[in-house]
Amino acid sequence: MTHANEVILSREIHAKPVASDFAVQPVSLADINDGEVLVRIIYLSLDPYVGSALRGRHMTPQPQPGDVVPGYGLGQVIASKADGFAVGDYVAGETGWRDHAIVPALAMRKVDPTAAPLSTQIGATGMPGLTAYASMNHLAAVQPGDHVLVSSAAGPVGGTCGQIARILGATNVVGIAGSDEKCALVRDEYGFDACINYKNADWKEQLAAVLPQGINVYHDNVGGELLDTALLNLADYGRVVLCGLASQYHADERPAGPNPGIFIVKRAKVMGLVVYDFLDEQQDVTAKIGEWIAEGKLHFVEDRVTGLDQAPVLFEKLMLGENIGKAIVAVAAESV
Amino acid sequence: MTHANEVILSREIHAKPVASDFAVQPVSLADINDGEVLVRIIYLSLDPYVGSALRGRHMTPQPQPGDVVPGYGLGQVIASKADGFAVGDYVAGETGWRDHAIVPALAMRKVDPTAAPLSTQIGATGMPGLTAYASMNHLAAVQPGDHVLVSSAAGPVGGTCGQIARILGATNVVGIAGSDEKCALVRDEYGFDACINYKNADWKEQLAAVLPQGINVYHDNVGGELLDTALLNLADYGRVVLCGLASQYHADERPAGPNPGIFIVKRAKVMGLVVYDFLDEQQDVTAKIGEWIAEGKLHFVEDRVTGLDQAPVLFEKLMLGENIGKAIVAVAAESV
């Protein structure tokens, strides 16, 4: 194996990325050094935060033209110079958009292919699932009787959040999503009690109508008007998990937030969530959600393309909010 | 006893109230009805929130010209038609700015004059003390090692917060106040480690310098730029108690708040506090803080005037932030 392919940025990104901002190019693979593994990538995860990272708005420096697009991948080790990593092991981590990646083994986590369907380990049972579990179980501590609202409910974090809330005993689980098609998925596949399309003119009235007793728990992936509206409908002592800010990933300015008075009047408890804090639980949570999937208690939906060269098109769709379910690129077969 | 005095609004309030907005007038006392008590008022509490209530910005309707100014008083029952309330009992509650008040007994709480110095039972051991205790002990759960920041630190809530934080074992207790004189009180009387005058041009640098490890706990009485600055200096996993919004009580518009991104990045835990939720603990907390005062562990400072007719002048001073310590009107002697 000496040749591979990667997706690079063809220009500097100053607006919402589109497919033509990317180019696929062949590369020669270098030899691997001590501590490294060569990974045959099977699945790539496409994630909204990468859109803001490409514009220099994430925790990392802005990628430049010619740089490989950052991204999370899952694959199989096909060569190893790292203790504890053998050929055939499944691993996941930051690989970039490639079909083969040479990476420091310590930057990868091992994946148990029997714990859950392999592709879900970058989705509903992977980091998005861990995010949802940390939010609903650890931070919000959802209990029987809770009325729960989740934004970006069709996505892998939001959809898993609502289903975990249900498993934890929530009385009423409501989603917000950006199209009627997404809302149908949220209700029919994920089993939420209701889903509001925030692009409808009367969505705020619809939301209040399906949460007449107020919101006990809100998982926020969006910020902006969705957060403001959730706070207005928050029940006293409501818990709010702030997890994502999709509304401002591509805004030109960082908008202000809600006046703190609403937090006081509602006696709200607001918690910021960064999934990296929970990585040492990933293996356990993958197994737990994997069991729920096996038992039919939790469902996942993928928007999947096949082939590394299809990544830019699906990413543009993700940026436009037109994907339905977890955006995933099947780069190669699960086993060879 | 048939004649008394009260302070009324002489005009509708549309800006920060001044002394000439108020007038003292004599009144004839009505007979008391079943369930009521006649209270000889000893101390009146002057509180910042009344300034916004007079402008119709509190939870209650806006007082009109001729209405008695709302306010919290402490006094002694001199006539009773209420079971369980005897002549001689000390009580506190919403009385308005009066020297005698006829009130429903159920709206008053009984005060044990031996639990703590009487005047403190509308200050450091009263509702402000309860606010501080609920914030530091229940919501923020201050522990040894914590670095604690408190705004409005010269006031009865803020000053008591910092001292309770110290008693709970905080490593470093820092205040913010609006003058060098207030800061001297915060350091010298309340024993804070440092106090920053936010009217100094370089106060943000000063604040960062005295909290080099970041803020573990912030008690916010102010909002606005003080909250923004505290959040920037928050340590990861910092706890923020939102309790007051002094910066906007007299603003023409409700300003926006901080972008939620700061809460996520810091993994902040933000909690709204309304003291009314903790009223059933008032008696215990009064006794506890009273003990700390008796033991010399906790200090209180009053800005006191004598005579009901002095209330408007002290209230104007309070509105301008020029009072030093708890603003209190000594209306009558503690015992007759």
Q: Which of B270, B275, B279 to mutate to test the interface with A (most CBs of A within 10 A)?
A: B270
The residue among A261, A276, A291 that closes a domain is: A276
Residue B287 resides in a domain:
no
Give A244-271 pLDDT, tens digit per residue. 887 776 666 677 888 899 999 999 999 9
- When pLDDT is averaged across residues B211-215 and rounded to a whole number, the result is 97
Q: Say yes or no: B52 and B153 in one domain.
A: no
Residue A282 resides in a domain:
no
Residue A117 resides in a domain:
yes
Domain total of chain B: 2
Q: Give the percent of chain A with pLDDT over 70.
A: 97
Q: Say yes or no: A272 and A135 in one domain.
A: yes
What is the residue whose two structure tokens read 């006046």? A259
- When pLDDT is averaged across residues B105-120 and rounded to a whole number, the result is 96
Q: Say yes or no: B152 and B268 in one domain.
A: yes
Q: Say yes or no: B176 and B268 in one domain.
A: yes
- Close Cβ partners of B154 (under 8 Å, ≥ 6 residues apart): B175, B177, B178, B182, B183, B185, B186, B301, B324, B325
Give A287-319 pLDDT, tens digit per residue. 999 999 999 999 999 999 999 999 999 999 999
Q: Say yes or no: A252 and A311 in one domain.
A: no
Q: Say yes or no: A165 and A247 in one domain.
A: yes
* CATH number of the structural domain spanning residue B68: 3.90.180.10
Q: Are strands A269-272 and A234-242 parallel, antiparallel or unpaired?
A: parallel
Taking CA atoms, what residue in B is nearest to A58? B265
Q: Identify the band that residue B215 occupies on the pLDDT scale cut at 50, 70 and 90.
A: very high
CB atoms near residue B212 (< 10 Å): 9
Calpha distance A146→A171 (Å, rounded): 5
B interface with A, Cβ–Cβ below 8 Å:
220, 223, 227, 242-245, 248, 254-261, 263-274, 277
Residue A91 resides in a domain:
yes
In this model, does residue B251 exceed pLDDT 80? no
Q: Say yes or no: A33 and A158 in one domain.
A: no
Both tokens of residue A284? Answer: 């356990």
How much is the pLDDT for B48?
87
In this model, does residue B229 exceed pLDDT 80? yes
Residue A90 resides in a domain:
yes
Q: Which of A243, A260, A271 sits opposite B223 (nearest CB)?
A: A260
Give A229-239 pLDDT, tens digit per residue. 999 999 999 99
Give A5-37 pLDDT, tens digit per residue. 999 999 999 889 999 999 999 999 999 999 999
How much is the pLDDT for B255?
76
- When pLDDT is averaged across residues B21-40 and rounded to a whole number, the result is 96
Q: Say yes or no: A229 and A200 in one domain.
A: yes
Q: Say yes or no: A203 and A325 in one domain.
A: no
Give B261-274 pLDDT, tens digit per residue. 999 999 999 999 99
How much is the pLDDT for A52?
85
Report which of residues A205 and B244 the model is more confident about.
A205
Calpha distance B260→A307 (Å, rounded): 37
- When pLDDT is averaged across residues A267-278 and rounded to a whole number, the result is 96
CB atoms near residue A214 (< 10 Å): 16
Assign residue A141 a region: left if phi > 0, alpha if psi is -120 to 50, beta otherwise? left
Q: What is the mean pLDDT of chain B?
A: 94
Residue B149 resides in a domain:
yes
How much is the pLDDT for B199?
96
CB atoms near residue B56 (< 10 Å): 14
Q: Say yes or no: B42 and B110 in one domain.
A: yes
Chain A residues near residue B260 by CB distance under 8 angstroms = 220, 223, 227, 242, 245, 257-258
Chain A residues near residue B258 by CB distance under 8 angstroms = 256-257, 260
Taking CA atoms, what residue in B is nearest to A57? B261
CB pair distance less than 8 Å for B257 and A257: yes
ipTM of the complex: 0.88
Domain range enclosing B248: 127-276
- Close Cβ partners of B83 (under 8 Å, ≥ 6 residues apart): none
How much is the pLDDT for A250?
66
How much is the pLDDT for A49?
85
Residue A290 resides in a domain:
no
The CA radius of gyration of chain B, in Å to the nearest whole number, is 20
Q: Say yes or no: B96 and B111 in one domain.
A: yes
The residue among A260, A276, A292 that closes a domain is: A276
* CATH number of the structural domain spanning residue B151: 3.40.50.720
In contact, A238 and A216? CB cutoff 8 Å: yes
Q: Say yes or no: A169 and A94 in one domain.
A: no
Residue B335 resides in a domain:
no
How much is the pLDDT for A61?
84
